[in-house]
Amino acid sequence: MYQLEKPIYFYLLSTILVFIVIFLMVFLWKKHTQRKFAHDIALNKITPDRSFFKSWFKLIILLLAITSLVIALVNPKIGTKIETVTREGVDVVFALDVSKSMLAEDIAPNRIDKSKQLITQIINSLGGDRVGIIGYAGSAFPQVPITTDFSTTKLFLNSMNTDMVSSQGTAITEAIKMAGTYYNNEDQVNKVLFIISDGEDHEGNISEIVNEAANSGIRIYTIGVGTKAGGPIPVKKNGILQYYKRDQKNQQVITKLDIKKLTDIATKGNGEYVDGSNTSEVIEQVTKILGGMNQKEFEAKQFTDFKDRFQWFLGVSIFLLVFELVLLERKTAWIKKLNLFNED
């Protein structure tokens, strides 16, 4: 396992292109200038020790030296030991509604982007907890399995959108069932499921599934995203509004936040409803909820004792720079003796 302490220095690799351009310009200028005095055949006789290969070889060495120096500045670190670390926390699963109604812009920037912002901020506020993400619309799908890797979780979260599921609807029952498979310990008492949705068009026998989940120890909390007044569902192409979604009667569809339905789900799931309009209040409420739960101990293997390795690349860079300086551009005697090209 490795870490890069300052990856921003990789931008310095762009200087390689600058050196190549300068070299080509100087090379062409030399060629042009030399031809003013003599043809190539005459130049070869006048300067028999001139080496075309050596010039390019020196450039390659210089570029390798620059690359090694940049890597040294980045300072790669290599983990030398794996330790099993005991952590305490709660297993938190987020079920994110990715149905088309989540495109409504009655809450800025729109419902789904607001939902992803909320989940990201909640994850940032967590400590030793583990998280997982499920997406659902007409069907449910696992996006991120239960993990302690928050960075990867947020990366996959940002990629979620309303085009991930072709079938529309809101299969929240499937999402709740799938959440049950995320908790790998039957004796766990701190299983938490946050459903982030506008509450519209929930299908299936929700009460029965919620009761089953509650009986298995899963506490369900709902976070409502949207407004009671609601808004139309925009259809965009390349970020440009084309039209608003209409029903079979050609009436503009207005999607509204269904607080009652989300509250019912949370109540039956031994949880509570959270208003998702104010991010700071959501974080405060979620932190309070999780803080009042029993923390579970679990083990996680991770690399420790990372050691700097910039010295290797710095040493290689210095060696190549010195080698480039002492390497002459003219042919050397031992290369002449090899007579690689059968020259007289």
Instruction: Please state, in angstroms and rounded to a whole number, the distance separating the CA atoms of residues 235 and 100.
Output: 9
Write down the pLDDT at residue 323: 87
Question: What number of residues does the chain have?
Answer: 344
Omega prior to 109 cis, within 30 of 0: yes
pLDDT digits (tens, 9 = 90+) for 92-135: 999 999 999 999 999 999 999 999 999 999 999 987 788 999 99
- Which 8-state DSSP code applies to residue 101? G
Q: Which of 335, 72, 121, 92 is nearest to 195 (CA)?
A: 92
Q: How far from 16 is each of 107, 170, 248, 317, 326, CA to CA, in Å?
A: 47, 52, 60, 14, 21
Write down the pLDDT at residue 198: 92
Write down the pLDDT at residue 275: 95
Q: How far from 83 is each of 80, 187, 302, CA to CA, in Å?
A: 10, 26, 6
Instruction: Please state, in angstroms and rounded to a whole number, the distance separating the CA atoms of residues 184 and 187.
Output: 9
Instruction: Please state, in angstroms and rounded to a whole number, the distance separating the CA atoms of residues 70 and 332.
Output: 32
φ/ψ (deg, to 5) at 218: -85, 125
Write down the pLDDT at residue 188: 60
Strand order in the sheet with 130-136: 140-147, 130-136, 91-97, 191-197, 218-224, 273-275
Q: Which of 266, 131, 116 is nearest to 190 (CA)?
A: 131
Question: Could you confirm whether domain 84-300 is CATH 3.40.50.410?
Answer: yes
Write down the pLDDT at residue 337: 56
Residue 45: how many other CB atoms lie within 10 Å: 9
CB 150 within 8 A of CB 144: no
Secondary structure element (H or E) that encloses residue 242, with its range: strand 240-244
pTM over 0.75: no
Tokens for 232, please give them: 């139309």
In order along the chain (344 residues), what is the average pLDDT of each group of 10 residues?
A: 79 90 86 69 61 78 92 80 65 93 93 96 88 92 90 93 78 89 71 92 76 90 95 90 89 93 94 94 92 68 66 90 79 55 48
Residues of the chain with CATH 3.40.50.410: 84-300
Instruction: Please state, in angstroms and rounded to a whole number, the distance separating the CA atoms of residues 267 and 259.
Output: 12
CA angle 149, 151, 155 (to 5 degrees): 120
Residues sharing a CB contact under 8 Å with residue 324, sequence separation 6 or more, in sequence order: 58, 61, 62, 65
Instruction: Please state, in angstroms and rounded to a whole number, the distance separating the CA atoms of residues 251 and 315.
Output: 71
Write down the pLDDT at residue 107: 94
Instruction: Please state, in angstroms and rounded to a whole number, the distance separating the CA atoms of residues 212 and 206.
Output: 10
Secondary structure element (H or E) that encloses residue 81, with its range: strand 76-89
pLDDT digits (tens, 9 = 90+) for 179-199: 989 886 655 667 899 999 998
Q: Which of 85, 80, 4 is nearest to 307 (CA)?
A: 80
